[in-house]
Chain A
Amino acid sequence: MDSRNFTYMFYGFAAAWVILSLYVLTLVGREKKINKQLEGLRRMLDDKGGK
């Protein structure tokens, strides 16, 4: 064992933060995708309405 299991504690804490960060990044990515889709749809509806 290392100095009183410090390495494994570090792995555990790091894993918790990595999972949280990955989830937050997923939310950010989804937000961008949603905004892009909304913008595209609004433009399409405006085009259709103008015709």
Chain B
Amino acid sequence: MRDKILYILGLLSAAWLTVNLYQMLLVLPDELRQGHIYRIIYFHVPAWFTCFSAFFVGAIASILFLVKKDYKYDTCAVAAIEVGVAFTCIGMVTGSIWARNQWGIWWTWDPRLTWAAITTLVYFGYLTLRQSIDDPAARARNSAVLAIFSFTSVAITYKAIDWWRTQHPGAVLDFRTGGGQIDADYQSVLYQNWGALMLLAAVLVVIRMRQESAIRAIEGLRRHAHAR
């Protein structure tokens, strides 16, 4: 039954993404100055919002783990953060491709980009840390602390475009500017794609959580086998 729900949600997110692709490519007009390339925003921004949401879930689950010492929260944290890292990579790569076309460079040490790179590295560090600790209790505890502190990097990355007005474009979405910076149709498709990516991310997190539970079961069975 649970598998069925998961498949249905996965198919739903795929269908939603397909409808969004149709809207982006065939319904919405080109942007006046950028032409086709502006459409990267429909993956770049939602991918960052999705990974920020995943890292937020990871931080909350980590706090809950430290408070309740229940491994299901550790499982949730690692699943959310790993999926978040995948979406971070999408945000970084799509942003870089847009920059190459619009700025003539793949990368610059602009504050927003620098903090985005720091966030990416910090969360890759989280995943690496987990690999390097064998004891399940120490691994869960140490990575929970790292996940909580790492979230400060997410908050700084998010606010960087407000605090330092440099090369990266400023905020355009209504909830940050109060309106008037982006066409309503463009914004609507952007939010819809964020919804579709969030649904996809949720499905991936649940799949990853199951795997983490199975890995924990394997570790338990190994200990049991060695104890005999």
A residues sitting closer than 8 Å to B (CB atoms) are 1, 3-6, 8-9, 11-13, 15-16, 19-20, 23-24, 27, 30-31, 34, 37-38, 41-42, 44-45, 48
Number of contacting residues on B, CB 8 A?
34
A34 CB to nearest B CB, Å: 5
The 3 tightest CB contacts between A and B, nearest first, are: A4-B35, A5-B37, A8-B101
One digit per residue, 1 when the CB lies within 8 angstroms of any chain A CB and 0 when it does not, for chain B 69-105 equals 0000000000000010010011001100110110000
Flag whether B176 is at the interface (Cβ < 8 A): no
Q: Please count the residue pairs between chain A and chain B whose beta carbons lie under 8 angstroms apart in the complex.
A: 87
Interface on chain A toward B: helix, strand, loop, or mixed SS? helix
Q: A5-B34, A34-B218 are in contact. List 18 more A-B contacts (CB 8 A).
A: A1-B35, A4-B30, A4-B35, A4-B36, A5-B101, A9-B37, A9-B39, A12-B37, A12-B40, A13-B39, A13-B43, A15-B90, A15-B94, A19-B89, A24-B204, A34-B211, A34-B215, A42-B221
